[in-house]
């Protein structure tokens, strides 16, 4: 049995990030059974959910003459332009149907502000605007965090690094995460997590 100060943070296991979705992560659905099994061992479970308005600034469709996966400069820094995904209220924004969402104590929705993206479960991409997750974890005395979900090289790694910087003891289960791996983004994310003191467990299949 795990200690009372441990929490499982499940990042963005949503239809649009799974095979057949608008921004599918290869083998993204394969991690669902393992995540469900892990949920039952933790005293606290938090789910995050990308929740974008249709006019979100990170969508390539909202930038004339731009294409998905191009990078542009935004006031808060570089921003990858994505295919429209996880639009509020859409089927693509729903959690994967196999995910045992009833086990969650909290669902954090992120990326709902049109002018700024939010990879991390803790902050918008300005690295300053909080989501409220840190305060929740503090109030419950949850200090040791294990991250799983999608995608390893974006929302998972950003969340894990922010958690470490906020003083949490952080582990990422790479066997229960999958990556987009956009032009070397996975290797960069792994290096950044190691540099931030994040413990990496399991094998990453991509």
pLDDT level of residue 1 (50, 70, 90 thresholds):
low
Percentage above 70 pLDDT, the chain:
98
**Which of 158, 155, 156 is closest to 147 using CA atoms?**
156
> What is the secondary structure of 34-73 as a DSSP string?
HHHHHHTT-S-EEEEEE-B-TT-TTBGGGSTT--TT-EEE
Residue 130: band (very low, low, confident or very high) from pLDDT cuts 50, 70, 90: very high
- Give the residue-averaged pLDDT of 24-32: 97
Relative to beta strand 169-178, strand 144-150 is: parallel
Global confidence as pTM = 0.96
pLDDT of residue 203: 61
pLDDT recorded at residue 2: 85
Show which residues are catalytic: 12, 110, 155
Is residue 202 over pLDDT 80?
Answer: yes
What percent of the chain is predicted at pLDDT more than 90?
Answer: 96
Beta strand extents in the chain (DSSP E only): 6-11, 45-50, 71-74, 77-80, 106-110, 144-150, 169-178, 199-201
What is the arithmetic mean of pLDDT over 134-151?
98
| pLDDT at 74 > cutoff 90 | yes
Instruction: Give the single-character DSSP code of 156.
Output: I
Do the Cβ atoms of 126 and 76 come closer than 8 Å?
Answer: yes
Mean pLDDT value of segment 24-33: 97
């Amino acid at each position: 049995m795990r200690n009372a100060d441990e929490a499982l943070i499940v990042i963005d296991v949503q239809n649009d990030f799974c095979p057949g979705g608008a921004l599918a992560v290869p083998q993204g659905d394969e991690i669902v059974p393992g995540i469900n099994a892990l949920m039952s061992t933790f005293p606290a479970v938090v789910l995050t959910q990308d929740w974008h308005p249709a006019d979100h600034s990170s969508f390539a469709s909202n930038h004339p003459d731009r294409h998905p996966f191009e990078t542009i400069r935004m006031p808060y820094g570089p921003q990858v332009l994505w295919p429209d995904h996880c639009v509020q209220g859409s089927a693509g924004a729903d959690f994967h149907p196999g995910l045992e969402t009833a086990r969650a104590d909290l669902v954090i929705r992120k990326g709902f502000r049109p002018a700024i993206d939010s990879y991390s479960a803790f902050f918008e991409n300005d690295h300053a605007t909080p989501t409220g997750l840190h305060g929740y974890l503090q109030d419950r005395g949850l200090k040791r965090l294990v991250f799983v979900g999608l995608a390893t090289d974006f929302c998972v790694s950003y969340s894990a690094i922010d958690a470490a910087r906020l003083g949490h003891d952080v582990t990422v289960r790479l066997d229960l995460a999958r990556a987009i791996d956009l032009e070397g983004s996975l290797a960069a994310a792994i290096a950044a997590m190691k540099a931030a003191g994040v413990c990496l467990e399991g094998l990453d299949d991509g």
